[in-house]
Structure 1
Amino acid sequence: MRFNLPMNFTRSLFLVSTFAAVFSTVGCGKSAVEEYCEAKCACELCSDPALDACVIETERLRNTAETNGCAEAVDAALSCLHTTAECRSEEYGGGQFETDGCVAEQEAMQQCVSS
């Protein structure tokens, strides 16, 4: 027996599976976006609303890049930040999340989402 699903349902299912693949998890069930924002906020002692804002903004950048056909630029930047960014402590309070090792990747990402 064959089921004929409505085209909208099939398209929605495709979009959901694509979205899930794009934000595939790394580590303990967290997306690359969440891992980046959590590392940044752990360093800079962000509030929960600031962490949420980071995730929303970074996902917005990723979606814009996908629309522009250059999502790999954001993925490369997030991958670089995940492996090379570091927290430089300050004497009082939080640290500074240094991303100097990912300048080229961040510039490519910025160019991608600006076009």
Structure 2
Amino acid sequence: MTSAPASPGHTHGQHTQTPGYAARKADHLARLSKIEGQIRGISRMITDDRYCIDVLTQISAAGRALQEVALGLLDDHVRGCVTEAARADPAQAEERFAEFSDTLRRALRL
């Protein structure tokens, strides 16, 4: 797995503050490592010709685990990036709220 070079802040657009998830970065990475292991396990299940329902159950569990990471990141974003923007600059706050709303719409497929 290749990662992008580290930066001091956001890489989307002109965001330069510390990411909202900075305090829980290690937790998020640990969860993602577990999910990677789940995905490798699913691949092994298919290689080993395991029962379809068992494979689908594991795929569902991995999907839920990714959703939990996403929810954690959204929470971090609201508590960090959006809140900070609201305190600092009304125009930036409006941008962050719009960005957050768009993200939720995509996540919920609305």
Same fold (TM over 0.5): no
Q: Normalising by structure 1, what TM-score?
A: 0.32
Q: TM-score scaled to structure 2, two decimals?
A: 0.33
Flag the structure with higher helix content.
Answer: 2
Greater strand share, structure number: 1
